[in-house]
Amino acid sequence: MMSSIEIKRKMMKLYRGELLKEVYSTLLKLVTKIRIVVEEKKEEEEGIRSSSKIEIIRNPRESIKLAYELIQSAEQEVLRIFPSIHAFRRQTRMGIMHLFKDVVEHGVKVRILIHADENQIRQIINEVVLVFPDIDIKGIDMSLNTSIGIVIVDKKESLIIETRDDARDNSYDASGLAAYSNSKYIALSYASIFESLWIQAELYKQLKEANEQLKQHDKMQKEFINLAAHELRTPIQPILGFTEIVSSKIKNNTEQRELLDAVTRNAKRLQRLVDDIIDVTKIESQSLKLNKEELNLNHLITNIIDDYNNLIASGNHKVKLYFNPFKETLLIKADKERISEVMSNLLSNAIKFTKEDAIFISIEKREDDNINYALVTVKDTGGGIDPEILPNMFSKFITKSFEGLGLGLYISKHIVKAHGGKIEGKNNNNGIGAEFGFTLPLINDTKTL
């Protein structure tokens, strides 16, 4: 399987193929100019090959006959471009595939390019490979939108044929002006265009196959991570339960209690990591479910802050939380556990990066496009957001901390988004600390407390 770097390199080559569109479109312009010259002069008789290196053929029967003669005369290679799937079908009914088969049996290599979409070219290849396995066929981008067919023989002679009306069933009625050249330089130029388009078609095929492999690999990886996370979750609960039982039986042994506290603390940390991994897999598989209910946002945030104040009081943190609730009741339709998770992520980050001093939490009511929403803000006085991670801080695994996997903000972003809100973060203007805020739509008018 190609690596992501190899895929990017191939994509760059494919993008360069866009330049071929301009080159290839000049063929149509060339035919138009030739048509003007022919109409002005009309000096040569129809179907008579001149001694010049470029000959104009106005009779479709003569140009198609010449195309078949050129293919029959091939000694090494035939390159053929069909401007559409209809043009290929018309020529197939006239027996061109059997002509190709004959020259292939004499050691001539035949390659065909067809302007067709993916389904059409797949059908053609499936049909041809059964009867003509030695003939190579590829599809090229339909956006080139050309009406020019090309025959190149041994890189010495070339014939371009205009499609005048692609809706016709008969090749003679569908074809227009043609231009033959026995100039090696012109043939080589057309062959170069053919090779570039051939490579582009091959790269597209490889990229498509690689993309399918990456999708399959990504699916397997997510399934494995999800399974592993669930398996890890199973033994965590017994560990926490047993340590709590053992801890209740320890009375005066400080050392043993400290060891058990360390076990409990790390088990809870592992539990948070596992829960984050499971959340990420749900987000990426679009299976994150919300159990929405009507909630009083002031009460929800107050309860979360009370929990964190108790945590701070029982720990070694010196930080203080200051909460400024909204003066009215703000009702939201939301998943209580998920919104609590978002708030906990923001508070945990603020406490982690604010060793001392204060953290300010506030709730405001805003209006945008006649839609009322609540804005919850957490503003700390810590070291602020590192400039290196600031542009991508809501992406996965973006962290400079040795704690956690850098998934909290990523998960919070998608939870808020699933509720119809937005989340943002920035460094404070005074250069001290950072501010994060998320919005949630209100379900009805506020009520005065």
- pLDDT tens by residue, 194-215: 888 888 888 877 877 777 887 7
Highest mean pLDDT, choosing among 24-28, 253-257, 390-394? 390-394
pLDDT at site 30: 53
- From CA 430, how far away is CA 130, in angstroms rounded? 74
Is the pLDDT at 265 greater than 70? The verdict is yes
Percent of the chain with pLDDT over 70: 83
Strand 175-181 and strand 331-335: the pairing is unpaired
Decide if pLDDT at 361 tops 50. yes
- As a whole number, mean pLDDT of residues 22-29 equals 52
292 phi, psi to nearest 5 deg: -80, 145
Question: Does residue 409 contact residue 398 with C-beta atoms inside 8 Å?
Answer: yes
Q: What are phi and psi of 139, to 5 degrees?
A: -100, 150
Mean pLDDT of 371-398: 89
CB atoms within 10 A of CB 23: 13
Q: Answer whether residue 37 shows pLDDT above 60.
A: no
Residues counted in the chain:
449
Contact assessment for residue 31 and residue 57, using Cβ atoms and an 8 Å cutoff: no
Instruction: List the 434-441 sheet strands across, edge first.
Output: 320-324, 358-368, 371-380, 434-441, 423-427
* Whether residue 19 has pLDDT greater than 50: no
Confidence of residue 47 (pLDDT cuts 50, 70, 90): very low
- pLDDT at residue 200 in the model: 82
Q: Which of 127-131, 158-162, 383-387 is predicted with the least confidence, judged by mean pLDDT? A: 127-131
Query: What does the buried/exposed string (b/e) look like for 51-87 if buried means 16 or more CB atoms within 10 Å of the residue's CB?
Result: eeeebbbbbbebbbebbeebbeebeebbbbbbbbbbb
Q: What pLDDT, on the 0 to 100 scale, is given for residue 445?
A: 52
Site of tokens 């053992």:
246
Q: Cα dist. 6→2, 19, 207, 289 in Å?
A: 6, 21, 10, 37
214 within 8 A of 245, measured Cβ to Cβ:
no
Instruction: Please give the backbone phi and psi of residue 232, each rounded to the nearest 5 degrees, phi first.
Output: -70, -35
Instruction: Give the distance between the most distant pair of CA atoms in the chain.
Output: 117
Count CB atoms within 10 A of the CB of residue 416: 21
Predicted local distance difference test score (pLDDT) of residue 321: 93
List the beta bridge partners of residue 77: 109
Chain center to CA of 76:
42
292-448: CATH number: 3.30.565.10
Q: Are strands 175-181 and 157-163 parallel, antiparallel or unpaired?
A: antiparallel
Give the CATH H-level superfamily of domain 4-209: Endonuclease Chain A (3.30.870.10)
Measure the N-to-C terminal CA separation of the chain; round to a whole number of Å.
63
Q: What is the torsional sign of CA 92, 95, 101, 107? A: negative
The pLDDT-based confidence of 82 (bands split at 50, 70, 90) is very high
9-27 mean pLDDT:
49
Whether the full predicted model's pTM is greater than 0.85, yes or no, is no
Tell me what the mean pLDDT of segment 303-327 comes to. 87
- Would you list the domain boundaries of the chain? 4-209, 214-282, 292-448
Look at residue 15 in the predicted model and tell me its pLDDT. Answer: 45
Tokens 């371009």 correspond to 160
Report the chain's mean pLDDT, rounded to a whole number: 82
| 308 or 212, which is more confident | 308
Question: pLDDT value at position 209?
Answer: 79
Taking residues 133-157, report their average pLDDT. Answer: 84
